[in-house]
Structure formats: C-alpha cells, structure tokens
Amino acid sequence: MTNQDLRRRMVEGLKPVDKAIIGNPPSEPIFDILEIIKPDIIALGYDQKHSRDSIKKGLEQNGWGQVEVIRVEGLADDLDGTRKIIAKILNLWSGETGGPYEED
C-alpha cells in the first residue's frame, strides 16, 4: 500500500468525510474529476502548494463556483504525520480481537 493510499484511507475513515480521493496526477487537468465526484468541499492539505484562490477561480470558470475550497490546518501536537498516527492507534489498541490488523 502506498503512503498516499494509506493517508486516503485514514482520511476516509473520519466521520465528516464521505469520500477521500487522491488528486489527479500533474499530467491531467485538475477539474476533470469534478463531474465524477461532484464535491461540496475540496480540502487542501496544509502543506499542499496549491493556491485556494486560483482553484476557486478555476472552479467558477468551469461552472463549479458553489464548491467550497478550504485548507486543512496542520496538527500542532504529536499527531502531525501518518507514522505518528499509526503508532498512536497501535499504542491505544488493547490487544483484544478486532484489532488494527484483522479483516472485517
């Protein structure tokens, strides 16, 4: 599993998230996926170099002006990376059945 896929699965597991996707590769126009996903919100990572204003302008030019563009803030505590989050989950797991490595 790639780091991107692992992060996507972790984000998708959050209650307020309906669906998390990995963005288009640089060779594909970023707005092509909108017709498939039909998002209400586009959330940019705190460390992504995309400009919220540029994306919002592009959305408006492509008929998607109702989509909100937000930037997710970085975590200031000890959970600021995928490895740290996984380590925290494993430390909190009681060791009983239904643990992090069992299939549904």
- Put residue 63 in one of left, alpha, beta given phi > 0 → left and psi -120 to 50 → alpha: left
C-alpha span between 68 and 56 (Å, rounded): 8
Where residue 104 falls among pLDDT bands split at 50, 70, 90? very low
Decide if 89 contacts 100 (C-beta within 8 A): yes
Query: Tokens 């060779």, residue?
Result: 27
Where in 20-80 does DSSP place strands (E)?
A: 41-44, 68-71
The 10s digit of each residue's pLDDT in 46-103 is: 777 788 899 999 999 999 999 999 988 765 555 556 666 667 667 776 666 555 554 5
Domains of the chain: 3-73 (3.40.50.620), 76-104 (no CATH)
C-alpha span between 71 and 43 (Å, rounded): 6
